[in-house]
Structure 1
Amino acid sequence: MMDKQKRGRDYATVNIDQVYQELNSGQTGLSSEQAHNLLEKFGLNTIQKTKRESQFKVFIKNFVSLMAILLWVSGFVAIFAGTTELGIAIWCVNIINGLFSFYQQHAAQKATDSLLKMLPSYTKVLRNGKPQQVETSQIVPGDVFTLQAGDSVPTDARIIEAISLQVDESALTGESVPESKSATYKKGDGQFAESNIIYAGTNVGNGTATAIAVATGMHTEFGRIAKLTHSQKKTISPLQLELNRLTKQISLIAIAIGITFFLAAIFFVHYPVAKSFIFALGMIVAFIPEGLLPTVTLSLARGVQRMAKKHALVKDLNSIETLGETTVICSDKTGTLTQNQMTIDHVWLPSKEYQVTGKGYYNNGKIQVNQQDIDLKNEPDLNLLITIAALDNDTQVQEVDGKAKILGTPTEASLIILTQKAGLDPDELAKNSPRLREFPFDSDRKRMSSIQKIDDQTQRLCLKGSLSDTLKHCPYILDNGQVRDMTDDDRDKISAINKTYAAKGLRSMAIAYRDFAKVMTKDELAQLETEQAEQELVFVGLTAMSDPPREEVFDAVKKCHAANIKIIMVTGDSTLTAKSVATQIGIVSDQARVVTGNELDQMTDEELGEALAGEIIFARVAPEQKYKIVSALQARGEIVASTGDGVNDAPALKKADIGVAMGKMGTDVAKDAADMILTDDNFASIVAAIEEGRAVYSNIQKFLIYILTSNVPEAMPSILFLFSRGLIPLPLTVMQILTVDLGTDLIPAIGLGSEQSEPGIMNQPPRRRDAHLLNKGVIWKAFAWYGLIASAISTFAYFFTNMQNGWPEVALASSGYNYHEATTMTLAAIIFTQIAAVMNCRTQKASVFKAGIFSNRLIWVGMVFEICLLAVLVYTPFFQGLFNTAPLNLRDWLFLICIPIPLFLIEELRKYVARRIAAKQKVSVN
């Protein structure tokens, strides 16, 4: 008895009796006692998920980030400065933000967990010599089980018996064409191609089989790739890195300003040390953007909500912003760019070629060719080809809720759908021409045929198969309704058209028939040998099929190119098919280089890096090779998104900056490794995610401009106080500064976090890796443009109010009603300049009118809240004492109301001029 499980492929060349002996099993399977002992020894037949952090650890992380720590410190500073209420308010903001962030992460994870279902629930197993339904997780090495069309393979297994067995291994290989399997060993081409070994996580497309489990759980190929996935540590997202950097920058700026003001207050104004310290602490708190973390979280959460409506489930909030920075998408082909559904594109007859078009199933007895309806009554050769393809077929296709439900192989399904498109009923055809004998498909002769009763005098062999293996048995050809001898010219012509289809990435299938000279009895039919029956065939024509691209993918690819995002197809499919699909949907041009998995193995890192700089497609790749490609791209400084649905995609999904798995067709391992799951398996949803990701980053930057804008007018009063050596009393108190930061600014700032993507955002390249949130443009706009204007207006408001009270004849008051009135007016002026600023910050280049003046309701709620809060502060006696405010009169309100409109229009004019200059520069470059 074995002590550990070997790989499934190790049993491929071993005699089946030796397999029984090694696994201590037999044709009747295991006993219940044996199965119990093996289950104790090897564990459940399940795929372990990536080990997650404890919920407590995830919860705590939301309260100990750099920005969160800065907020905790800010609260202490505020309390130390004598403003206990505001210090507690800062802490409340931190607590609410942490809870909100944790809730979003938990909700996303919960939704994701509901999708993670891959392996079948039950399998028919022989135990104690009798068949019984057993939970898949309970299967052990040595169990003998049976499979039929539609079943998922529960373990890696050695085939004992098989009839017409075809297995879809796309989850492992990425190859869309099903593999023929049998009990006889043949090595095959590529990984997982052993003819007598089937693998966990794959699906039976056609036929039946009896097999013995040889590897279970994490010992299967499915599980081994999962281990490779689990070994990869997820790196910190670019947004997290940038926020950490921003926090350090703002902290250093705030501390530097605080130290400067502290020293200036002592040595320039001659303030007492204690008073200077409190004054400096107030400045530090004023320069810390308390709303940054809530705004970032809300921006990401809103992006997640919008993406959920667009069929994309984000597992990690930061992932959506990371996708917005993506420079390269490594995309699987099957099921991601294509529909994973074989479709007949061309039908070739010796007398005519048809390009099949049209959608749906039944088409009123006509088939669409080149957008024109063709009546089969007038096309007897075409009618015969379709009838043969439908009769020599074991697959059923049903329409369920407007979609095709296939029981069988995709190849045969394409022929059934072709029949239905033509208005023929496959069931009716089978009823009228019942099957008398079947010769199943096998990988040796690469053909399938069946004998049908056409009428009392005619028995017809209907055959389909590969062209090379069919044509050599066809001495005759059907040409325009007449059967004649096939010539060498005919064979050359057929071979030429087949090569043309192959160059386009199409898979061709030959259709032929034979009418027997005499009607055979049941015994004669039973004794008829395959090779004897499949002779003297009449060649009818070819069908050429493809796995068509998704309809939405064409526009999605165009948008990616407009956004300077490179798409690299990485597939297990053939080179011809990969290049054909990639060029058809516009990913690459005809000049693109195709690199196979074998070629990739021979490449050095330098050679691979050079190849990745140009147009490139990867075909016939293995799981570890996809991982290598992603790593090479990251080494070149690219931010990589890797998409996929199979087990073979999982390591690359985990390694990539963001992994995007398919929700419907995706395997458990792929979903577990990914950062985002597309619930509709639609590549076009990725483009929507990119746009949302860019909007998130843009919104965070807009918030930063807005919040920093108020820092300048907040700092200006202190600058005036210092440079006048105290002759100008502080135009703004510390409590009033914090009122702007934590009170009036917070809701409008959060409103910016929920702003829709700006028009034209997808016509810009991804932001550079060395670009930062706090850059020269942000600093110039916040400090030298918005900030200076706001400072000038608020300073004027301060002196204007003092002028009403007799200044300069009367000295500036440093306390009392007049002083509170002047500081209140300064505070109010800052608030009203911020109303203009939040509208101006809604767009960076486009006009706000184009984005929609009233499209962001939260912005308007914030502005109303600002004015209402100001009214409460200046007219409520309790708050007047707490915030050193005084009532404003009608003249003051009229002055304040006039502030936002001209500031908004001036900025609109600046944006207009900037757009005109950019347009002229673009024209001159072109």
Structure 2
Amino acid sequence: MAQQKIKAAGMYAEQPLKQVYQQFKTSAAGLSSHEAQTRLTTYGPNTIQRGQRQSQFKLFIKNFTSLMALLLWVSGVIALFAGMLELAIAIWAVNLINGCFSFWQEHAAQKATDSLRQMLPAYTQVLRDGQQQRIDAAELVPGDIFTIQAGNSISADARLLSATGLQVDESALTGESVPESKTVAYQPGDGKFAETNIVYAGTMAASGNAQAVALNTGMATEFGQIAQLTQNQRPNISPLQKELNHLTQQISLLAILVGVLFFILAIFFVHYPVAKSFIFALGMIVAFIPEGLLPTVTLSLAQGVQRMAKKHALVKDLASVETLGETTVICSDKTGTLTQNQMTVNHIWLPSREYTVSGQGYVNNGQIENYTFGQAADLDLLLQISVLNNNTTVKAPASAGQQAKILGTPTEAALIILAEKAQLDLPSLQAKLPRQQEFPFDSERKRMTTIHRDHGQTVAYVKGALDGLLAISTTILDHGQVRPLTAADQQNILAADKQFAAKGLRSLAMAYRKLDAQAASDQASVEQQLTFVGLTVMADPPRPEIYAAVAKCHAANIRIIMVTGDSALTAKSIATKIGITSDQARVVTGTELAQMSDADLKTALSAELIFARVAPEQKYRVVTMLQSMGEVVASTGDGVNDAPALKKADIGVAMGMTGTDVAKDAADMILTDDNFASIVAAIEEGRTVYSNIQKFLLYILNSNLPEAAPSVVFLFSRGFVPLPLTVMQILTVDLGTDMLPALGLGAERSEPGIMEQPPRAHNAHLLNRRIIWKAFGWYGLIAAILSTGGYFVTNHLNGWPQAALAASGFDYRQATTMTLATIIFCQIAAALNCRTQRSSVLKVGLFSNRKIIGGIIFEVFLLFALMYIPELQVIFNTAPLRGGEWLYLLAIPIPLVLIEEARKYGLRRHAAADR
């Protein structure tokens, strides 16, 4: 029995039923209560266990142990050793606040996605002690005999003992939108999970009823095995986390090199004592570490999460926001993501004419007909058969914005909705033609027959697959008249069906027969000499907005690969129709994929490709292979079968409305509207977030040079010129005046054309040559010259060079305040200049980003507070400025903005000339 627990259910499909009973030590009468309790102890409860999750404490600590966070902890220690207690406390406080905020954001996102994980139904009907009993589904064990009714979720992997008209929705496992017919007789079927006499846990009975013997329960089911495969995967480090680690290493190296250089210069050039030189060097290291970068990145990502939520994308991890912007390939499921997950009749084929069915009505020869039931005999009869030979109920949505509830199969629901468009009164029709008998659908006959009574006349209505139904038809309804079915008629019908099939559409044939009372009781005699009426042709239509979303992906050089459990013909039809691939795309089925080597798969992935009828581990393999090729992969899905690929992908995207809890748990992002277009909107947001991180990285770093320039002046004057900027004033810029404008840059809207650019290179870095040059060779250099100049301007107004520069006193404090104020006013211009890379800030709107304007106002008020509040003057070594100095400051921003506008104009002209 221990081995049976892990043996795949499909292995029992071909075994004689007697042998299955023997292996599970059970019988048609079921288990005894005592034996069931023993097995429950052996096998455990019939539940899907969640993977071991990190404790809240570990999640909390994680936010304080990144490389950037560690750098800030070390910075605080350095400041403490340098005798700057206030600076150390400030840096540590920033790190603590940032870590707590990050933990709160991720905890809130996780809480929002933690739903009730009720994978299995609450109760199941079983045979125990020879009697029917209602038990908690968690108590079901291997060997139990249990019953299945239409609408039930199936509690275990099981072998069918009996089945009447059973159709099972297996989309959670296969992605296939059309229910599969299940019978006691074994047939292998196409693809995994397709054995006709095996049903699987987590799927749902769409129609019919059955009795089955449980083979595997809980984590031993196929459902559980996929969940376990997902849980065993280690989480990937996001590209942004890797890049921030790389950036931390760069900044650390830069800060240490600057510190060592200044330590050497202080000793050998200024002839400072070693201890004093060491403290001076430590101060420079602290000055070059952007203490505000980590909280600014965190808050920018948090803003991205909030903006994505408004676009129906719920992101569980902050770093995932930026990863979306790097996406190069989207492995997309079909059903419910690219399509509406609603089977819809879009064509009606009658011998006399053909209709295209739209939301507006019936279209015949390009003309919309507001067709109402009762106008044409042949179409009326087809609609009548569609709704009377039907066991599905469609309940209207309870409120606006909700979907109709389907109790039955999507195919039959589509037929009911088709008839509703013609204003057919179903209750009246059912009362007029009450059902007397039913011969349920099965996979051998591939048809369903119902018998109805109409004023003393008995009639049989038949619907099913065309090949079987056409073979038992002898007459045809043509222009409302019944005539013999000829060979030419058959050819026309088959040709029409072939054309529909080539487009990936599914046809369902309709026929009828008038009966005498004696024939009505025998299936074989009823299902012969039928009158063929016509075809209803249906498909799961693409989402209306999918076309624009796919085009946007192509413009952004993002490749879309459909990976579905649906048939090859349907998959290619949809992929071609919505523009994912051309008609020349290769379709690889799961069977073919299983036989392909890694080298062959890699070659295939280099061209246009569609995957159909794939198993869960195969989707996982496709994602893994794409990652090995250097692609950044986003994978979508809603079923349990999608969960391993969702977990493996750089970005796993689960469906919020139709997705299983296993899929949601594995994903990094959940779409609350199940819409592929929301993924594209999220990718655009991810690109914007990365661009904005670079913008405020540039903004934060460009103040480093003017912060360091005063120390250079101090060193090269050999101490003659007192230090123009104190360490606490440097901290004022890094953690005070810079923070809000930087956050404003994090909220900047997408620049025009951001989705017309290819994804950034995998080896590209946040801190690149362009940013280094602009930060230090352009913005920073100008700010350094102006701030140092401001220091000497104030000293000049105070009597220098006639009066010696003092290293203390009011005049010195006023001069350092001028240096600080000049840096702040240069940063005001930088905040506006950093909003765009090439576009004119005047064109995007000088005042359109209110957060930046608010940040600029805040830093001016903060500067006033530092200058005029006595307590702050003592801490930050500041003093009030005079009118002439304020004129100098006010003259700074406008010229800097205009100079940058001229530079950007030159870049745009140069780019236009290159086209």
TM-score bucket (shorter structure): over 0.9
Match of 1:819 among 812, 816, 829: 812
Cα distance between partner residues in 2 of 1:752 and 1:221? 48
Q: Distance in 2 between matches of 1:294 and 1:370?
A: 62
* Counterparts of 2:126 and 2:846, CA distance in 1: 66
Verify the 8 A CA contact 1:116 1:672 in the aligned structure 2.
no
TM-score by length of 2: 0.96
1:286-325 correspondence to structure 2 within 5 Å: 286-325=287-326
What is the correspondence of 1:394-413 to structure 2 with a 5 Å cutoff? 394-400=391-397, 401-402=399-400, 403-413=403-413
Q: Is contact 2:636–2:653 with CA below 8 Å preserved after alignment?
A: yes
| Runs of 4+ displaced beyond 6 Å | 365-369
| 1:650-672 CA distance string (max 9 Å, x none) | 11111111111112222232222
Distance 2:244 2:115 in 1: 31
Alpha-carbon distance in structure 2 between the residues aligned to 1:920 and 1:9:
65
- Partners of 1:725 and 1:459 in 2: CA distance: 113
Gapped runs of 5+ residues in structure 2?
none
Query: Aligned runs of 1:106-505 on 2, under 5 Å?
Result: 106-114=107-115, 116-358=117-359, 371-400=368-397, 401-402=399-400, 403-456=403-456, 458-505=457-504
Structure 1 residues 117 and 695, CA gap change in structure 2 (3 angstroms)? farther
Q: Which residue of 2 aligns with 1:912?
A: 905
Q: Does 1:687 align with 2:680?
A: yes
User: Distance between the aligned counterparts of 1:222 and 1:174, measured in 2?
Assistant: 13
- The DSSP-based 3-state class of the residue aligned with 2:319 is helix
Change (3 A) 1:17 1:603: closer
1:879 Cα deviation from its structure 2 partner = 2.4
**Equivalent in 660, 679, 690 of residue 653 of structure 2:** 660
| 1:374 match: secondary structure | coil
Which string of whole-angstrom CA distances, capped at 9 and with x for unpartnered residues, describes residues 70-114 of structure 1? 101111122222221121011000011111111112111111112
Partner of 2:878: 885
* CA–CA distance in structure 2, aligned partners of residues 773 and 139 of structure 1: 55
Q: Does 1:506 align with 2:499?
A: no
After superposing the two structures, state which structure 1 stretch, 840-849 or 146-155, moved more. 840-849
Which moves more between the two structures, 697-706 or 241-250?
697-706
Matched residues in 1 for 2:908 and 2:52: separation? 50
Secondary structure in structure 1 of the residue aligned to 2:291:
coil
Please report the RMSD computed on the Cα atoms of aligned residues, expressed in angstroms. 2.0
| Residues in 1 aligned to 2:132 and 2:849: alpha-carbon distance in whole angstroms | 64
In structure 2, the residue matched to 1:540 is 533
Equivalent-residue separation in structure 1 for 2:526 and 2:257 (angstroms): 92
Contact 2:357 2:363 in 1 (8 A): no
Q: Does the 8 Å CA contact 2:519/2:525 hold for their aligned counterparts? A: no
Code of the aligned partner of 1:746: M
The alpha carbon displacement at 1:727 in A equals 3.2
Partner SS for 1:513: strand
Opposite residue 397 of structure 1, the aligned amino acid is V
Deviation at 1:729, TM superposition (A): 2.7
Task: Give the equivalent residue in structure 1 for 2:744.
Answer: 751
Which letter does structure 2 place at the counterpart of 1:331?
A: S
Mark the CA change 1:860 to 1:427 in structure 2 (over 3 Å): closer, same or farther: same
Q: 1:315 Cα deviation (Å)?
A: 1.8
Contact 2:48/2:119 (8 A) holds in 1: no
Match of 1:72 in 2: 73
SS of equivalent to 1:642:
strand
Query: Which range moves more in the overlay, 872-881 or 92-101?
Result: 872-881
8 Å CA contact retained: 1:166, 1:178: yes
Q: Offset at 1:371?
A: 4.3
> Are the aligned partners of 1:63 and 1:69 in contact in 2 as well (CA < 8 Å)?
yes
Residues 683 and 703 of structure 1: is their aligned pair in 2 closer, same or farther, counting only changes over 3 Å? same
Segment drifting more, 378-387 vs 285-294: 378-387
Q: Which residue identity lines up with residue 896 of structure 1 in the other structure?
A: L
Look up the match of 1:601: 594
Per the TM alignment, residue 189 of structure 1 is displaced from its structure 2 partner at its CA by 2.1
In the alignment, the residues of structure 1 paired with residue 363 and residue 676 of structure 2 have an alpha-carbon distance, to the nearest angstrom, of 33
Q: Is the counterpart of residue 670 in structure 1 residue 671 in structure 2? A: no
Q: Specify the code of the residue in structure 2 equivalent to 1:445.
A: R
Alpha-carbon contact 1:257-1:283 (below 8 Å) kept: yes
Question: Does the Cα contact within 8 Å between 1:571 and 1:621 map onto a contact in 2?
Answer: yes
Given that 1:474 and 1:538 are in contact with CA atoms closer than 8 Å, whether structure 2 keeps it comes out as yes
Specify the alignment match of 1:844 in structure 2.
837
SS in 1 for 2:512: strand
Report if the CA contact (8 A) 1:357-1:368 is conserved.
Answer: no
Residue 116 (structure 1) shift: 4.0
Mapped partners of 2:372, 2:871: distance in 1: 88
Letter in 2 for 1:818: D
Cα distance in structure 2, aligned partners of 1:224 and 1:726: 72
Residue in structure 1 matched with residue 63 of structure 2 by the alignment: 62
Q: Match of 2:670, SS?
A: strand
CA distance in structure 2 between the aligned counterparts of 1:846 and 1:897, rounded to whole angstroms: 25
Q: Distance in 2 between matches of 1:59 and 1:438?
A: 62
Return the TM-score normalized by structure 1: 0.95
Instruction: Note if 1:716 corresponds to 2:713.
Output: no
Letter matched to residue 267 of structure 1: F
Q: Deviations over 1:737-757 (max 9, x none)?
A: 222112221222233223333
Q: 245-254 or 414-423: which moved more?
A: 414-423
Cα 1:622–1:748 change in 2 (3 A) is same
Instruction: Please give the secondary structure, in 2, of the residue aligned with 1:460.
Output: strand
Which amino acid in structure 2 is aligned with residue 295 of structure 1? T
Residues of 2 paired with 1:489 and 1:223: CA distance? Answer: 53
1:237–1:322: 8 Å Cα contact kept in structure 2? yes
Q: Does the 8 A contact of 1:476 with 1:484 survive in 2?
A: yes
Is the 1:354–1:370 contact (alpha carbons within 8 Å) kept by the matching residues of 2?
no
Partners of 2:754 and 2:359 in 1: how far apart? 36
Q: CA deviation at 1:578?
A: 0.3
Match of 1:896 among 868, 889, 897: 889
Q: Classify 1:370/1:49 alpha carbon distance in 2 versus 1 (closer, same or farther; 3 Å).
A: farther
Q: Deviations over 1:516-536 (max 9, x none)?
A: 2x4x1xxx366x321211111
Whole-Å separation in 2 of the counterparts to 1:850 and 1:29? 77
- In structure 2, the CA distance between the partners of 1:341 and 1:595, relative to structure 1 (3 Å rule), is same
Structure 1 position 448, deviation (Å): 0.7
Residue of structure 1 in register with 2:554 after alignment: 561
Structure 2 CA distance for aligned equivalents of residues 904 and 788 of structure 1: 15
Moved more, 247-256 or 743-752: 743-752
Instruction: Describe the SS at the equivalent of 1:201.
Output: coil
In structure 2, the residue matched to 1:87 is 88
Deviations 1:579-609 (A, max 9, x none): 1000111111112111112222232222222
Alpha-carbon distance change, 196 to 902 in structure 1, aligned in 2, over 3 angstroms: same
Distance 1:756 1:445 in 2: 60
> What does 1:19-30 align with in structure 2 at a 5 Å threshold?
19-30=20-31
Tell me if 1:726 matches 2:719. Answer: yes
- Partner letter of residue 797 of structure 1? G
What SS does the aligned partner of 2:196 have?
coil
| Greater mean alpha carbon deviation, residues 548-557 or residues 22-31 | 22-31
Aligned residues of 2:191 and 2:590 also touching (Cα < 8 A) = no
AA aligned to 1:885 is T
Amino acid at match of 1:488: A
Q: Which runs of 5+ in 1 are unaligned?
A: none
Structure 1, 805-814 or 767-776: larger mean CA deviation: 805-814
* Secondary structure, aligned partner of 1:475: strand
In structure 2, the residue corresponding to 1:803 is in which secondary structure? helix
- C-alpha displacement of 1:894: 2.8
Q: Percent identity?
A: 65
